[in-house]
Amino acid sequence: MATLTQEKQAVIIKFAGDSGDGMQLTGGLFTDDTAISGSDLATFPDFPAEIRAPIGTLAGVSGFQLHFGSERIYTPGDRFDVLVAMNAAALKSNISNVRKGGTIIINEDGFDSKNLRLAKYDEDKNPLDDNTLEGFEAIKIPVTKLTREAISESTLGTKEKDRCKNMFVLGFLLWRYSRSMDTTTKFLNAKFKNKPEILDANQKALMAGYNLADTMEVSNDRYLVKAAKLAPGKYRSIMGNDALVLGLITASKKLGVPLFYGSYPITPASSILHSLSKYKNFGVRTFQAEDEIAAVSSAIGASYGGSLGITGTSGPGLALKGEAMGLAVMLELPLVVIDVQRGGPSTGLPTKTEQSDLLQALYGRNGECPMPVIASSKPSDCFEVAMEACRIAVQHMTPVVLLSDGFIANGAEPWRFPKASDIPEMKASFAKQDENSEQFMPYQRDEKLARQWAIPGTPGLLHRVGGIEKEDVTGNISYDPANHEHMVKTRERKVEMIADYIPEQKIESGHESGDLLLLGWGSTYGVCEAVTNSLTKLGYSVGHAHLRYLRPFPRNLGELMKRFDKIVIPEINNGQLVKVIRDKYLLPAIPFNKIQGTPIAHEELFDFALNLVDKG
Amino acid sequence: MAIESNPNGVPYTLKAKDFATDQDVRWCPGCGDYSILKQVQTTLADLGKQPHETVFVSGIGCSSRFPYYMETYGMHSIHGRAPAFASGLKIANPNLSVWVITGDGDGLSIGGNHFIHLLRRNFDLNLLLFNNQIYGLTKGQYSPTSEENKRTPSTPYGSIDHPVNPIALALGSDATFVARSMDRDPKHLKDMLARADAHRGTSFLEIYQNCNIFNDGAFEVFTEKSSKPETALLLESGQPLVFGLENEKGIRLDCFTPVVVDLNKDGFTKDDLWVHDDSDQLKANILARFFDNPAVNPSALPRPFGVFYQTQRPCYEEMLHQQLNAVVENLGEGDLDKMLAGGSTWEIK
């Protein structure tokens, strides 16, 4: 049978298997290859909180979703064109999201009676044999068996051999999407450089899968997704947390201030600490503290000493850091607090995404405790947002909260990375001894209301800072009632004045005024863009604005919102930005909320918005 | 000699009063903190410390007001966390002389966790714990070092908490310098402060400090002339453990059991006594257990004062910067463009 190569504009693949099946790696490698092929893409890894949930159970299913195409890709996609199901549980938990007529690639060996029982299928009703797969193109392959056969000569144990089955599946898909094995082979060579036995087994499994796709009669259709029309330039694939790391280091270099990162491991922020600790040759000092409080406190101590103090965490950790963040507000020292949000409250959903902490970031501290809050909207945006957080912290002498979330942190996309020389230098200055003044005034302010960064070791600037209310200018302890009110107002004005040093809010896409504004922040960026595009194509006057600055808001935000009849605020929470917008602007913004630990799907928001514009 | 340039560039010698700020000291009259403040200011002057290279970092509590009274750099941080602020500060600038000021509540209750980790990491700084066995700033509740059955506003029927032994906790945390002193013995206190400063690594100094408002006389038995000779044991490395009005009593080790002997009666000479060796961790642990309350147990072993133990271990910030330099040497100064490009890239024309 001749191989027929069909061109596709976009494809959504979901890799699903047991958490020990290596689906994250398979998905990641396929993504790398896709990125290099020039397609645009978005990913959504989705894994259980347990490192190894009981094998074969529904709770143990780990998934990796990839949406790629020759057109602009905004979201990981709603319904899968292809589902890879490594066992019965993976099939059961994902089949409802496969589009009608979609393809399901099945590891038949993952459907024995034990697998069926654990997946809560009736043991005598194997979904491979009944009508479960009707309406789909089902490609059944005994992956485990074929992988073992392909590497039968290897001296590895059965357990280790079975670990290669993800490479078999990867090989199968690479052929199917008209790719070569080069990128993957390069990766394997590097990873198993010192383990020739494992390297050999993985390569053989990869090859076996590739060859099977070529020869297998049922599925010798081949697909090609061409490169997307992205802006010219050099690209790489980037994940959110990695982009944060690159942004922080770049900021440190551009400011000329050494980077200190104090952190305590927490999902999904830990990989920031992992990555930063590798970049020691950039002068990065990392400190794995004994707890969240020590992490933020050490960062404040480092800032006090003249470093760029940064800490990173997720929701529960942000709660613990609250008191120290308040101290940083009083000390008026630079500090960046990164919160990679996850489902809450309490431990909540550690591995699932949620825009859970906007209100905590804005208000979650004792006293009148204003702090700038900015948010990244997608993986590559983390780079710029990280630099911006550092700039604000240093130039305005204030702690800054940077909000990301699990979806952005672990999601990947192509990134047209900048040249270092194209990134402007950023100014940081330390106070120097003033020969003309008798005594140093630590709380004297500049035109931005920022005080000077006066670091220990500098002669002539001796002073004491602390959490007790400060007398204006001198910084001495003061319990004076009028002074307290003055200082509260000054600290607030200092933060609000940052609005004069940030860009005005732009319409991201769609109309500049009209019937409906989709006002988003954070990881809803993609879905807001996609829905806006869909609706404008249908002739509706819809615009999308996406907030990077959540405190202070851009100066023109109120005016911008008033150009639209309706404002919808989609959020992966129970309605947080919508409260702030209603409070500040007295506008009847309409919330659209999903709180399921997953991104908002295109069709969900589309239907909601369409209904609103249709009603007129 | 302490040399600091005045605004005209003329060097002068600093005195204790040069380390005092213009702020009114607001501890209660008669508080033991006054003595400690005085001895610290005197010691810094004696040691020739430069105010601008010295930082006092504290938590919350009476003792933690200390930085406001020191004409150096200072940070009055949040409750219990001073060690963490100081850790970050030392990493940022290892050359600073950093003094962490804490109390029994701040350092051992709310900040107990940081206490342990600071000591095991061995940052090169000094940790002064003012132990008054009471919560002063919140008006008299019992503290983690208060004796059992203490009646306070929060324990009207007597406390049931077993007290923490700070010296044993420090040794258990692998501290590299562990010492105890008292507010009422300025000479001893100055000596201990100077030795704490001379030690490279985290120097832990517990200072018995009288709170004359909420816990007056808590350490009287160890500090007053009438009882001190019988209850306080002054440690000096290389010297036998002796105490008593005429130094007529000594401590002998019977296997690992310390026994009090009377040199005039029991037929022992000084040669039979336990000779203190501040490099001996095992024996330091036994000394740390000289902790019975003489008010409850009249035959309690005398309470040791001085350096229990000291050793050398690399400091955290030193190793951190060594590692950093080694990586730079190995990989070369980081190149932003290479970092931004990462592993594999592709070009769209």
* Closest residue of chain B to A306, computed from CA coordinates: B92
List the CATH number of the domain containing A316. Answer: 3.40.50.970
pLDDT at residue B9, as a whole number:
54
Domain shared by B244 and B306, yes or no? no
Distance between CA atoms of residues A533 and A539, nearest Å: 10
Domain shared by A160 and A297, yes or no? no
Dihedral pair phi/psi, residue A43, rounded to 5° = -125, 160
CA-closest candidate to residue B75, choices A470, A481, A495: A470
The stretches in chain A having pLDDT less than 50 are none
Domain shared by A161 and A280, yes or no? no
Choosing from A421, A456, A479, the residue where a domain stops is: A421
CA-closest candidate to residue A459, choices A491, A435, A427: A435
Residue A290 lies in a domain: yes
Residue B60 lies in a domain: yes
Q: Which residue among A290, A304, A420 places its CB closest to the CB of B89?
A: A304
Residue-wise pLDDT tens digits, A264-295: 999 999 999 999 999 999 999 999 999 999 99
Q: For chain B, say whether A353 makes contact (Cβ under 8 Å).
A: no
Residue A499 lies in a domain: no
pLDDT at residue B11, as a whole number:
52
List the CATH number of the domain containing A174. Answer: 3.40.920.10
Q: Identify the residue among A41, A237, A281, A384 best suited for mutation to test binding to B, counting B beta carbons within 10 A and taking the highest.
A: A281
Q: For chain B, say whether A279 makes contact (Cβ under 8 Å).
A: yes
Residue B260 lies in a domain: yes
pLDDT at residue B349, as a whole number:
83
Domain shared by B191 and B311, yes or no? yes
List the CATH number of the domain containing B229. Answer: 3.40.50.970
Is pLDDT larger for residue B10 or for residue B228?
A: B228
User: Number of folded domains in chain B?
Assistant: 2
Beta strands, E only, B132-213: 177-182, 203-208
What integer best gives the mean pLDDT of chain A? 95
Domain encompassing residue A130: 4-225
Domain shared by B189 and B248, yes or no? no
CB contact under 8 A, A420 and B346: no
pTM: 0.95
CA-closest candidate to residue A252, choices A43, A426, A504: A426
Residue A436 lies in a domain: no
Domain shared by B198 and B257, yes or no? no
pLDDT-derived band at B10, boundaries 50, 70, 90: very low
CB contact under 8 A, B91 and A299: no
Q: Which residue among B23, B55, B81 places its CB closest to the CB of A297?
A: B81
Domain shared by B282 and B294, yes or no? yes
Domain shared by A181 and A298, yes or no? no
Domain shared by A351 and A288, yes or no? yes
List the CATH number of the domain containing A524. Answer: 3.40.50.920
Which of B 89-108 lie inside 8 A of A, CB atoms? 89-93, 95-96
Q: Using omega within 30 degrees of 0 as the cis cutoff, is the peptide bond preceding A268 cis?
A: yes
**How far does the CA of residue B26 sit from the closest CA of chain A (Å)?**
12
Residue A212 lies in a domain: yes
Choosing from A191, A225, A259, the residue where a domain stops is: A225
**How far does the CA of residue A119 sit from the closest CA of chain B (Å)?**
39
Q: For chain A, say whether B201 makes contact (Cβ under 8 Å).
A: no
Domain shared by B245 and B102, yes or no? no
pLDDT at residue A436, as a whole number:
84
Residue B271 lies in a domain: yes
CB contact under 8 A, B328 and A236: no
Q: Which residue shows structure tokens 């517990």?
A: B206
Domain shared by B230 and B281, yes or no? yes
Domain shared by B121 and B245, yes or no? no
pLDDT at residue A46, as a whole number:
87
Domain shared by A177 and A264, yes or no? no
Domain shared by A221 and A240, yes or no? no
pLDDT at residue A52, as a whole number:
76
Q: Which residue shows structure tokens 């010295």?
A: B54
Domain shared by A58 and A118, yes or no? yes
State whether residue A145 is helix, strand or coil. helix
Domain shared by B146 and B253, yes or no? no
Q: Give the Cβ contact number of residue A202 at 10 Å.
A: 26
Strand pairing partners for A400?
A336
Domain shared by B15 and B144, yes or no? yes
Distance between CA atoms of residues B19 and B55, nearest Å: 12
Q: For chain B, say whether A445 makes contact (Cβ under 8 Å).
A: no
Q: Which residue among B23, B91, B334 places its CB closest to the CB of A260?
A: B91
Domain shared by B130 and B199, yes or no? yes
Instruction: Identify whether the C-beta of residue A342 lies closer than 8 Å to the C-beta of residue A488.
Output: no
Residue B120 lies in a domain: yes
Residue B349 lies in a domain: no
Residue-wise pLDDT tens digits, B80-94: 999 999 999 999 999
Distance between CA atoms of residues B129 and B120, nearest Å: 17
Is A177 exposed, middle or buried, given 0-12, 13-18 or 19+ CB atoms closer than 10 A? buried
Which of A 466-505 lie inside 8 A of B, CB atoms? 466-468, 476-477
Domain shared by B151 and B110, yes or no? yes
User: Number of folded domains in chain A?
Assistant: 3
Non-local (6+) Cβ contacts of A122 within 8 A are A116
Q: Identify the residue among B10, B346, B347 best suited for mutation to test binding to A, counting A beta carbons within 10 A and taking the highest.
A: B346
Domain encompassing residue B255: 240-275
Q: Which residue among B67, B330, B336 places its CB closest to the CB of A420?
A: B336
